[in-house]
Structure 1
Amino acid sequence: MSIPQLKLAIDDGSTNVKVSWIEQGTLRTIISPNSFRKEWKSAALLKGQKVFNYLIGSTKYTYDATSDKALSTTHVQYQYDDLNLLAVHHALLQTGLAPSPVSIVVTLPITEYYNPDDCQRNEAKIAAKRHNLMREISLNKGELFEIVEVEVMPESLPAALSCLLGSDCNEFTKSLVIDCGGTTLDMGIIVGRFDDVSAVYGNNEIGVCMVTDVARKALAAADSDASYLVANELIKRRQDMNFVRSVVNDESQIPRILDKIETRIQELGDQIAYEAKKFAKHPNRVFLVGGGAPLIEQAIRQAYPSLGDKVVLVNNAQSALAREICLYHADDAALQTAEPVLLEVGDE
């Protein structure tokens, strides 16, 4: 008798990979940052510390949270290359589950999932994403999960499913979902409680990477070259001066660095608000999802002032898509939901 394979939902974004699964009635989620460079690390100095050295074909990669030589994932081609394959397998290892054959549901940005001319599925790109994740990869001195099945879904819209089902929407309600990710901006208009999707929009030139790039350049000017992961941590923890001082060598530059980050966050919010108003001038409610959602919340509230509390920052917005996809595809119901576990820079 065949043993049923574990199915995991994976929102494999360019900055972080979010993985959700149901374990003994509990919906669990981990958020695994992306930071890989070529060549391998030497063995860990500390007992119990893991080193993740991977091999794809003849190319060696390693997970390195702080290296300024970390490879860029902030481009759409990431969805189909070695770094995506690395990110998914590395995230699976962070779940704490024993490596085994698994079935996974992954995502593509709306601009990649749908053809721009007719809004139909882009079967070639969906197949390319599926093929990429079925490729051979090995872990030096370790065992990986065996991915035996890959299903691909579009990003953003499913992230608001639970909010919509729990709301007082009727069949005439138009809800705008805004997903601000690391590399892409995805938006869609949902009618009722997911009765229909009336329009979708994607822009692969707007994302949190706009802020990340500014942060990295400002750090470099302060003699503090940093990986994309460290730059993103700085953006997220910019109010924590102990952390800020720990990553900036020239502390006299801290006010300038923080000012540049805040200015770029404002510009990101203004740009997304402009795109949102062009796409949906008068929605009945707005849901904000994705890792960049907290950064743009204020700008979106100002863009839709009459909506008030109908502009909703979805709970744990960064991992909402993975959770909702998991619940949608699960064979068993989740009796409770655990808080997402975010792997910080130092956790590796």
Structure 2
Amino acid sequence: MTVSALTIAVDDGSTNVKVSWIENNQLKTIVSPNSFRKDWKSAALRRDKQVYNYTIGTTKYTYDATSDKALETTHVDYQYDDLNLLAVHHALLQTGLTPCPVTLVVTLPITEFYDPEDCQRNEANIEKKRQNLMRAIELNKGELFQIVDVNVMPESVPAVLSTLMNSNCNEFTRSLVIDCGGTTLDMGVVVGEFDDVSAVYGNKEIGVSMVTDLARKVLAAADSDASYLVANELIKRRHDMEFVKEVVNDESQIDAILTKIENKIAELGSAVAIEAKKFAKNPNRVYLVGGGASLIYPAIAEAYPTLGERVVLINESQSALARELCMYHADDIDVDVNPETLIEVADD
């Protein structure tokens, strides 16, 4: 018997999972943070709050937004382990869709998707990723989506597909795409309106986790142990002093904490700029995507000063890849993408 499955695009990054799907001929997207720890959480006192307790094999996990015991996802092995399986299923549940059979289009960092020796598809890694997401998982007192098939795509370059198609560039234009994620830095050079991808490059030592790890350390030193999710939220909302004071217990250290975070952001931007200039010295355009795009934008603009406005921070850069993959794989070419529904999942 053939099962009709909904196609959902999932950019399952180490820090956040971005999910895009077509509903009522409209593109919708959610951003679901990763924050899981072992063992189960007790039932919520408030009836409007759902507890997500999962079991994989004999191991119990729970979604816990604020626990300082949250398991680390900022490593490449995350792409093939329990936490990746948890993160994808948890994100699917945040869509508001009724659990059903689904075909997933997921992603792998360029360093994992391509073989570094010949730049060809690393079929072993691709199949390893597929099989990881096909494994059994259970939700206590709840129903999960049934993953019936998994297609794997590379990160980075597909995120600018529609942007380039509408950019009026010529067949000789060379566009550098920089994807700064939580764990990896992925780059690619696209020719024309996606006529060709002439080169790809990845570095799994550079990512926003450089800043996240520093943020957790300085928070801990200020008697404010925090999860990776909270640390990332502090980075994002570092200019919101009301939020900062809620997160930092020892307020006498706030100025020092924010200074250290800003310095680390500058260090991240400099590291990405150096790698970008080595990879593509003089592209015609530069496009920034990924969760760290806004953090590195000033450094990249400075690294390519003659390009001016041709250094572009893609709108809603964090979820750009999921949106593009969804539209690329959509059967209906008349999808309405403006306005798009973009939801950041609340921290339960």
TM-score by length of 1: 0.98
Segments ≥4 residues shifted beyond 6 Å:
none
Shift of 1:3: 5.7
Q: Please list the CA deviations of residues 156-198 of structure 1 after superposition, one character each: whole Å capped at 9, or x if unmatched.
A: 1000111101102111000000000000000000000111111
Q: How far does the alpha carbon of each residue in 1:36-93 deviate from its partner, in whole angstroms, 9 at most, with x for none?
A: 0000000001112100000000000000000000000000000000000000000000
Taking the aligned partners of 1:112 and 1:144, their CA distance within structure 2 comes to: 28
Deviation at 1:4, TM superposition (A): 2.8
- State the alpha-carbon separation in 1 of the partners of residues 258 and 221 from structure 2: 13
Name the residue aligned to 2:55: 55
Q: Tell whether the 8 Å contact from 2:3 to 2:101 is kept in structure 1 after alignment.
A: no
Partner of 1:279: 279
Give the aligned partner of residue 33 of structure 1.
33
1:49 aligned counterpart, secondary structure: coil
Cα-to-partner distance string for 1:300-335 (whole Å, 9 max, x where unaligned): 000000000000000000000000000000001312
Aligned to 1:95: 95
Q: Work out the CA distance in 1 between the residues paired with 2:346 and 2:27.
A: 21
SS in 1 for 2:287: strand
| 3-state SS of paired residue (2:233) | helix
User: 2:93–2:99: 8 Å Cα contact kept in structure 1?
Assistant: yes
Aligned letter for 2:144?
L
Identical pairs, percent: 72
- The one of 330, 333, 342 aligned to 1:340: 342
The residue identity in structure 1 corresponding to 2:6 is L
Aligned to 2:230: 230
Determine the C-alpha separation between the residues in 2 that align with 1:140 and 1:71.
20
Asked if the contact 2:34/2:87 (under 8 Å) is kept, the reply is yes
Mapped to 1, the partners of 2:67 and 2:293 lie a distance apart of 27
Cα distance in 2 between the residues matched to 1:311 and 1:166: 16
Letter in 1 for 2:28: R
Q: Is residue 146 of structure 1 aligned with residue 146 of structure 2? A: yes
CA distance in 2, matches of 1:238, 1:323: 27
2:16 is matched with 16
What is the letter of the counterpart of residue 205 of structure 2? E
Aligned partner letter, 1:343: V
Match of 1:183 in 2: 183
What are the equivalent positions in structure 2 for 1:137-216 lying under 5 Å apart?
137-216=137-216
Q: Aligned-pair distance for 1:2? A: 5.1
2:268 corresponds to 1:254:
no
What amino acid sits opposite 1:336 in the alignment?
V
Alignment gaps of 5+ in structure 1? none
Aligned to 1:242: 242
1:270 and 2:270 equivalent? yes
Please name the residue that 1:81 is paired with.
Answer: 81
User: 1:231-279: CA deviations, max 9, x gaps?
Assistant: 0000000011111011110011100110010000000001100100000
Offset of 1:336 from its aligned partner? 3.2
Deviates more, 1:126-135 or 1:334-343: 334-343
RMSD: 0.9
Amino acid at match of 1:227: S
Q: In the TM superposition, what is the alpha-carbon distance from 1:292 to its structure 2 partner? A: 0.2
In 2: Cα distance, 1:116 partner to 1:330 partner:
31
Residue aligned with 1:128, SS: helix
Structure 2 partner of 1:321: 321
Q: By how many angstroms is 1:34 displaced?
A: 0.1
User: In the aligned structure 2, how far is the partner of 1:79 from the partner of 1:6?
Assistant: 23
Q: Residues of 2 paired with 1:303 and 1:120: CA distance?
A: 30
Equivalent residue number for residue 116 of structure 1: 116
Amino acid at match of 1:340: L
Partner of 1:128: 128
CA distance in structure 2 between the aligned counterparts of 1:257 and 1:243, rounded to whole angstroms: 14
Query: How many aligned positions are there?
Result: 346
Gaps of 5+ in 2: none
Cα distance in 2, alignment partners of residues 181 and 76 from structure 1: 12
Rounded to whole Å, the distance in 2 between the matches of 1:2 and 1:145 is 17
Q: Counterpart of 1:335 in structure 2: which amino acid?
A: D
